[in-house]
Amino acid sequence: MHTSEGQILFILTGATLIVGGLIGYFLVSLARQFERYRHQQDGYNRNKLDALEQERRVISADLHDDIGPLLSAALLKLSTVNPEGAREKEFLQQADAHIREIYTRIRELSVQMVPRAIEKKGPFYALDEFAESCLVGQDLRVDITLLTCPGLSEYRSLHLFRMLQEILHNTIKHAGAREFSLDARIEGPELFIETRDDGRGFDLAAAQEKGGLGLQNILVRARMIGVKLEITTSPGTGTCYSIQLPINEEHTTHDSSHPGHPGR
Amino acid sequence: MLMFFGISFIIGLSGSFLYSGPGIHGIKSELLQSLAAALLILRQARIWKVFEGRLYLNFILLCLIIALFIIEVVFPELLAVRSSVFMVFSSFTITLLAIEMMNRNLPQSRVPFWRNPVFLFCAGLIFQYTLLGLIELFAGTLRDSIPAVLTKTYYFYAGISILVQLLYIRSVLCIPAKDKYYSY
């Protein structure tokens, strides 16, 4: 081979290798930065959801512990009033009924914000209570497997409940379904949940592209507690969510760096 | 970014009109320009948090660039190779930093890339300094064997430089106007 040809070959090979290396570096670096950005977003969403739960607890406790006793005191005071006229008596009865109504609603609201059933019996009982409270007047039959998971921490139970609550809420609000079923079973260290409805379904890719808050929160919560989530749906075929969750936190396969429970 | 353009312009002017041949005090203006560019890009990369959690890398690169520049200017016989080691090293360092800066900005950018000043600026840097690094690396070989190709390569570099200047102009035009000022 002629010397200059050899040199041209050397230059071309060298230049190609360098440019190829730079392109490779570019792609790897880009993928790394996207991954880093996703982690940042997850951290941000996690903090947001933790703060939201914390705020719910505070508001729920305030409603239950502060306003409840005040209303009870007001009822007590009203009961000591002895009206003279029939009109005054009627007003007093109406006021008494209103305060009792407010008291009941505040208790319901307080329970709905942070269902006590999560702590006592677990997420499935809490979901059953939620379904009972919001299905009044709805043409939807709900069938939930009532299962207790002793090893599931309260923090993870709460997030699992919120996920299931959002799924049920979406079914009621958007699916137009007549039946909703939730099957849960424990196999070894894993909890398997499958929800299914016979509603109108949706275009999953379009929904993810649109970035609706409900679906996004389900996905974020799933990553937070190490859930493997699979959504099967398409327009006209109903929706099925398959959830796989390690019961003990040490079995969590991803996102195990989570600090744990939110402060109270 | 604007400082980079300003200093490049001043050094370019001095190279073109004031000093020819050996450059300022015997230092080639290309070397000065590369040093200024490398230092400014290093500074910009630090501001844009490319060295987040590994600030030592910034320090090592800074030391290497300054050391190579001094060796190249004061003791040129120490680096007895046909290419300028400083130019090659600083060019590829700038390219890699530009890639990092661009990629760091891309995922969180809310504007399309043709209106993203960071993307345009970094794209300009990548084009310019990759080519400069390659030319500098293979200049010796080309000069010895086929000088005509080297001349054509410089013409090609000049053509690319026009494209790069257009990218820089566009990037400056896309910098959002600061019409609100906050003080903390």
- The share of chain B scoring above pLDDT 90, in percent, equals 27
Highest mean pLDDT among A253-257, B23-27, B95-99: B95-99
pLDDT, average across residues B30-44: 89
B138 in reach of chain A (CB within 8 A): yes
Per-residue pLDDT band for B17 (boundaries 50, 70, 90) equals low
In a mutational test of the B interface, the residue from A1, A2, A7, A9 whose CB has the highest number of chain B CBs within 10 Å is: A7
pLDDT of residue B20: 47
Least confident of A19-33, A72-86, A215-229, A244-258: A244-258
B53 in reach of chain A (CB within 8 A): no
Sheet containing A179-187, strands listed edge to edge, beginning at the edge strand earlier in sequence: A141-144, A179-187, A190-197, A239-246, A228-233
Instruction: Summarize pLDDT for B76-88 with one digit per residue, the tens.
Output: 777 667 778 898 9
pLDDT of residue B77: 75
Q: B133 to chain A, minimum CA–CA distance in Å?
A: 10
Residue of chain A minimizing CA distance to B88: A18
Residue of chain B minimizing CA distance to A8: B142
pLDDT higher than 80, residue B114: yes
Average pLDDT, chain A: 82
> Comparing A18 with A209, which gets the higher pLDDT?
A18
Are B96 and A19 an interchain contact pair (Cβ–Cβ within 8 Å)?
no
Chain A residues within an 8 Å CB radius of B106:
30, 33
Among candidates A8, A29, A36 on the partner chain, residue whose Cβ is nearest the Cβ of B99 = A29
Average pLDDT, chain B: 81
Instruction: Summarize pLDDT for A163-175 with one digit per residue, the tens.
Output: 998 898 888 888 8
pLDDT of residue A2: 58
pLDDT of residue A3: 62
pLDDT higher than 60, residue B90: yes
Among candidates A4, A30, A37 on the partner chain, residue whose Cβ is nearest the Cβ of B108 = A37
The torsion angle over the Cα atoms of residues A46, A52, A57 and A61, rounded to 10 degrees, is 160
pLDDT of residue B1: 66
Which residue, among A205, A203, A200, has the nearest Cα to A236 in the 3D structure? Answer: A200
Read off the tokens for B81: 């190779």
pLDDT higher than 80, residue A138: no
Chain B residues within an 8 Å CB radius of A36:
107
Contact yes or no for A257/A263 (Cβ under 8 A): no
- The share of chain B scoring above pLDDT 70, in percent, equals 82
pLDDT, average across residues B143-172: 83
Per-residue pLDDT band for B135 (boundaries 50, 70, 90) equals confident
pLDDT, average across residues A134-161: 81
Contact yes or no for A261/A54 (Cβ under 8 A): no
Per-residue pLDDT band for A264 (boundaries 50, 70, 90) equals very low
In a mutational test of the A interface, the residue from B103, B106, B131, B153 whose CB has the highest number of chain A CBs within 10 Å is: B103
Chain B residues within an 8 Å CB radius of A19:
130, 134
Instruction: Summarize pLDDT for A61-96 with one digit per residue, the tens.
Output: 888 778 888 888 888 888 888 888 888 888 888 888
pLDDT of residue A118: 78
pLDDT higher than 70, residue B24: no
Q: A37 to chain B, minimum CA–CA distance in Å?
A: 7
> Comparing B145 with A43, which gets the higher pLDDT?
A43
- Give the ipTM: 0.71
pLDDT, average across residues B156-176: 87
pLDDT of residue A256: 38
Among candidates A3, A4, A19 on the partner chain, residue whose Cβ is nearest the Cβ of B130 = A19
Chain A residues within an 8 Å CB radius of B141:
7, 10-11
Provide φ and ψ at A82, rounded to 5°: -120, 90
Read off the tokens for B5: 């353009």
Collapsing DSSP to helix, strand or coil, A142 comes out as: strand
Chain B (76-115) residues lying within 8 Å, Cβ to Cβ, of chain A:
92, 95-96, 99-100, 103-104, 106-108
Which residue, among A178, A217, A218, A213, has the nearest Cα to A198 in the 3D structure? Answer: A178
Least confident of A156-165, A246-255, B173-182: A246-255
Contact yes or no for A193/A168 (Cβ under 8 A): no
A12 in reach of chain B (CB within 8 A): no
Residue type, B84: S
pLDDT of residue B98: 94
B143 in reach of chain A (CB within 8 A): no
- The share of chain A scoring above pLDDT 70, in percent, equals 92
Q: B180 to chain A, minimum CA–CA distance in Å?
A: 27
Q: B100 to chain A, minimum CA–CA distance in Å?
A: 7
pLDDT higher than 90, residue B65: yes
pLDDT higher than 90, residue B99: yes
A44 in reach of chain B (CB within 8 A): no
Are A19 and B149 an interchain contact pair (Cβ–Cβ within 8 Å)?
no
Instruction: Summarize pLDDT for A219-246 with one digit per residue, the tens.
Output: 888 888 888 889 988 888 888 999 998 8
In a mutational test of the A interface, the residue from B88, B113, B129, B138 whose CB has the highest number of chain A CBs within 10 Å is: B138
pLDDT of residue A154: 81
d(CA B152, CA B183): 53
Q: B145 to chain A, minimum CA–CA distance in Å?
A: 6
Are A14 and B149 an interchain contact pair (Cβ–Cβ within 8 Å)?
no
d(CA A176, CA A174): 6
Are B137 and A14 an interchain contact pair (Cβ–Cβ within 8 Å)?
yes
pLDDT of residue A45: 81
